[in-house]
Amino acid sequence: MDFSAMFQTWLNVLTKPNEATFEQERHNPRASLTTAIIWMAIAAVAAAIFSAIGAVIGSFIGGSTALLSPAMLENADLPPEVAAQLAGFMVQGGAGIGFSFCLILIIPIGFLLSSAIYFGAAKIVGGSGSFEEQSYLLATFIAPLTIVSYVANVIPILGACVSCLIGLYQLVLTYFALKTAHSLTSGSAVLAVVIAIVIWIVLAICLVAVPLFFLGGLIAAGSSGS
């Protein structure tokens, strides 16, 4: 992996958001699905590390010392309620760190799912590009922006503001990526992005509504049974 070339590509795309930049990357010899996945894996590892750091910092800000071990708590001769509270903070901090390293799998899988949704949306409006080509162009900015987002999230308030700006900028870059990869008109590229957003919203609603529906059914069944 040529890290120098990788960083140059990321910097070029992020600082020159236009069709010419994406057209140049479209013909890059490294443009492949394999490269896209490798870049997202690198971003996922970086995100996991900074997310874990954020979890530790968050536990301290919340008033806990997440680095304390259970044995240290037992030997500290603390009042039971204080020890219980500290133990709770430790569990939260540990859970946060544990989830952080799940990002190593979640981020690349999420990227492929996202690319598939954008690919379907582009095809709906008449796109002619390939999934591999599109995924590579998306990875040129999603990978570095993912890292920047998780670095910023180490500082809670700053992270929320930066993530919002990153999300908006990512939509702009996605427009150029889809327009270039699928040879779309400006209107069709915008429509493809909108369709993809609608699909994401529907999926999010389903992920929330379906479990709640079954939970409600179980509660109703339990109430009628009693």
Q: Give the amino acid at 33.
A: L
At 68, the pLDDT band (50, 70, 90 cuts) reads very low
CA distance 135 to 215: 37
What's the per-residue H, E or C state across 167-178? HHHHHHHHHHHH
**To the nearest whole percent, how much of the chain has pLDDT over 90?**
50
Q: Is 106 left (phi over 0), alpha (psi -120 to 50) or beta?
A: alpha
State pTM to two decimals: 0.77
Write the CA distances from 99 to 3, 12, 51, 63, 91, integer angstroms: 27, 32, 9, 21, 12
CA distance 58 to 63: 9
Q: How many CA atoms lie within 13 A of 113 on its CB side?
A: 10
Q: What is the DSSP letter of 66?
A: T
pLDDT of residue 102: 81
pLDDT of residue 92: 46
Total number of domains constituting the chain: 1
Q: How high does pLDDT run on average in the chain?
A: 80
> Which residues constitute the domain of residue 145?
3-225
For the segment 205-223, the average pLDDT, to the nearest whole number, is 67
